[in-house]
Amino acid sequence: MGGGKALSLVFGPAQGYGAIVDKGEQLCKASLVQILALSTFAGCFIGFGALLSLTIGGRILPAVEQYGSGIQTWTYAALFPVNLLFILLSGSILYTGATFTTPAAVIEGRASIWKSTAVICVAWLGNMIGGWGFALFTELCGLNEDEVARYVVKVAVSKTTKGWGVIFLRGIGCNWLVCMAVFLQTLAQDMTGKYVGIFFPISTFVACGFEHYPANAYALPLSVFALAKDEYSAGIKDPPNFGDMLWENLIPCTLGNLFAGVVIMSMGMSFFFGSMKAGQCFKKKEPEASKPEAEANKDAGVPPDTPPPNIDAVKMMETRNESPQWVDAIAGHQGGFARTVSC
């Protein structure tokens, strides 16, 4: 049998963080119009996953009556992650992911704080546009009826009656897990591995009841359309309006998601692998030989170490279909490593 070197399907965490930084740099260099379009698409993809969960979860009431509400919660949680697969592998942009990738690029000196802030704000707006748009699309398709409408109204009432502080804290828990999903699927290099990396963190946050701004930007507007119909608002003492949804859920959820993305994930990963701890992933390698030793080697006729080629020269070789002998795309965070891993 051959003794060739095996190819790993999973990169290590340091290389994964390098890809996150590279992705954040790419986003900060993109036009805000493109960011808006990609984040609007992401809001629609969130709608697909949420509608799937609402449709199946709302139609298993007999099982809920027999086995308890846990079966409905798990069904919703198990189906919901499909939307993040659509988003991450299509290059679309979630507000929650942008709070991790672009601040990481800022921390590592690859982007400005102003451009990162602009990307995050535009992604927030685009997710809202996509969520509202897909909620309207769902309503016009006649899919916001019966079990779906009753289930989404139940969800909306729950999300607007927990209190500002609770929703903020749940927003932190949510985006901690969402950013972990982004990070884990970045490490995986095959479709199965990526979905495993996505599935467990996302299904966990949904089943635990944490709060995700992009998902709420679809579910809450959908409940507005449902509550406008007497058959679904009947029996609800004080049905929430859009102002209640904005203040009681979307704003604290947004801030909680932001805290988790910037402080816990961006700063945390930089402390582990980046410049906040001057980790090996970013540390410049010192020459192994001292100057006198190098001079001695020179006198002895030993050729000096060959320096790595300029990365621009490597890219030029690639455009000419030549195979470069050395590309430090992972450890040096150059050459667009993140373009080979969706994040």
**Confidence at residue 335, expressed as pLDDT on a 0 to 100 scale:** 39
Is the separation of the CB atoms in 9 and 185 below 8 Å?
no
Domains of the chain: 13-273 (1.20.1080.10)
pLDDT-derived band of residue 130, with 50, 70 and 90 as boundaries? very high
Report the candidate in 222, 56, 255 with the shortest Cα–Cα distance to residue 154: 222
Q: At 309, is the pLDDT very low, low, confident or very high (cuts 50, 70, 90)? A: very low
Predicted pLDDT at 241: 87
Q: For residue range 260-308, list pLDDT tens digits in order.
A: 999 999 999 999 999 987 544 445 555 554 455 545 455 555 455 544 4
Q: What is the mean pLDDT of residues 313-328?
A: 40
Distances (CA, A) of 139 to 143, 217, 284: 6, 15, 56
Beta carbons of 101 and 23 less than 8 angstroms apart: yes
> What is the average pLDDT score of the chain?
84
Predicted pLDDT at 334: 39
For residues 95-103, average pLDDT = 98
* Exposure class string for 180-193: b at 16+ Cβ within 10 A, else e: bbbbbbbbbeeeee
**pTM attached to this predicted model:** 0.80
Secondary structure string (H, E, C) spanning 240-257 = CCHHHHHHHHHHHHHHHH
Reading the block at residue 262, the tokens are 């910037």
Residue 184 has pLDDT above 90, yes or no: yes
User: Looking at residues 206-231, what average pLDDT do you find?
Assistant: 96
Of the given ranges (64-68, 69-73, 160-164, 191-195), which has the lowest mean pLDDT?
A: 64-68
Residue 193 pLDDT: 92
Beta strands in 89-188 (DSSP E): none
